[in-house]
Structure 1
């Protein structure tokens, strides 16, 4: 499904945020099975968090038209008992829903787990007692999937959290993650002058408040404060969510070209 999201987003961007029905079907039919006709796949895309809607006989990518301030951002951090989702699991989840400069919702939970390496416990402060009797992986992942809606997925080093959760969702039959992704490290590098961009360093140097590093909700909360700060330093030409996402992945040459184009 990741190929579907990527191809659709590229096509939407080439066509000013809209796709005709034939253009949409050409893309999704590459990934269609006997049980997933284009209309069915649309429902799957939406339920996975991909911001696509039908609009008067066409399809529209919502993030292309939504201002970045009005956009919902689901800022997530996870703690795990290993680095590879194939052989490890999530042990704690923290998430903050952020919109228009305000935290509008939050989610946090330990996850039931019987195997906790000592080095993970030392890093996080999480103990086996915290995890015994906690909610099951399936229960927590189901609740997180609902919580995320179609918000932009934000994390510090987003590839790890996104990839780990994507694998975990798929493993438990919850599908893949279709939410668009924003890495706060990438965005910080383009908006904040700092010697280092690790979350603990930025939290201290930028005085983002109390921070219990390597605890999921605390990390998610600090990342939310960091996200808010990066928004204050965005160039004027970044107006929409899609422009924000492209800016966060842009090269210096691309940013200079955009600045000259908009000036």
Structure 2
């Protein structure tokens, strides 16, 4: 990963469908020469959200009313990303929301290279592979999971741990998906997608 600049990002959303659901919180950090040089985080006035989403994220409708409008939030994020390599945990989810949001707002998508820490985690480790689980495995502090900025720092630290363990360079633009659920509905046209299955730790009898 030497010589690359990164934008690690995470979205909290109103649901799981990037074509109809909306982003309600976004966060990102810019990393240059291995150092965090910028941070961006905002709520977005895309409510109302269901009680279930509030339960998962802790984000209330009252808080969202004070958030940025969607267009401004994504314009700032787009400039923040620039031509950096994108990093996310379960990147298929966040990249699809980035794509459909940009298409709706600006009429064009992105072409950034990316790393998905979930794909690498599934290849190297037994189930489970949620960000909280992976951070725990590597003794990475992760407080307040499912709030975007906390997840962003956790994801960046996880990528570094994975790279220290065994270089991740060959995983750029690769997206593994669970075969039983089928391929994602949308991925970048330059992504290398492939089916995979969770590996489970053998249990003694």
Class of the TM-score when normalised by the shorter of the 2 chains: 0.7 to 0.9
CA shift, 1:210, in A, is 3.3
Higher strand content, 1 or 2: 2
CA shift, 1:133, in A, is 2.5
Q: Secondary structure at the match of 1:86?
A: coil
Could you say which residue in structure 1 is the equivalent of 2:142? 210
Could you say which residue in structure 2 is the equivalent of 1:245? 172
Measure, in 2, the Cα distance between the counterparts of 1:187 and 1:228. Answer: 12
Whose radius of gyration is greater, 1 or 2? 1
Could you say which residue in structure 2 is the equivalent of 1:84? 17
CA distance change for structure 1 residues 153 and 128 in 2, over 3 Å: closer, same or farther? Answer: same
Measure, in 2, the Cα distance between the counterparts of 1:195 and 1:175. Answer: 36
Q: Provide the aligned C-alpha RMSD in A.
A: 2.2
- 1:157 aligned to 70, 90, 102, which one? 90
Taking structure 1 as the reference length, what is the TM-score of the superposition? 0.62
Could you say which residue in structure 1 is the equivalent of 2:32? 99
Measure, in 1, the Cα distance between the counterparts of 2:82 and 2:53. Answer: 30
- 2:74 aligned to 135, 141, 144, which one? 141
Measure, in 1, the Cα distance between the counterparts of 2:47 and 2:116. Answer: 31
Q: Write the deviation string for residues 175-220 of structure 1: whole angstroms up to 9, x where unpaired.
A: 1011112111122344x54442111111223221132111111111
Measure, in 2, the Cα distance between the counterparts of 1:102 and 1:117. Answer: 37
Task: Give structure 1 stretches of 5+ with no counterpart.
Answer: 1-67, 251-263
Check the 8 A contact 1:155/1:223 in 2, yes or no: yes
Does 1:232 pair with 2:159? no
Check the 8 A contact 1:76/1:95 in 2, yes or no: yes
Question: What is the number of equivalent residue pairs in this alignment?
Answer: 178
Q: Secondary structure at the match of 2:172?
A: helix
**Mapping for residues 178-197 of structure 1, pairs under 5 Å:** 178-190=111-123, 192-197=124-129
CA shift, 1:142, in A, is 0.2
**Mapping for residues 5-16 of structure 1, pairs under 5 Å:** none
Task: Give structure 2 stretches of 5+ with no counterpart.
Answer: 177-191, 193-205
Measure, in 1, the Cα distance between the counterparts of 2:175 and 2:67. Answer: 36
- 2:155 aligned to 218, 223, 227, which one? 223
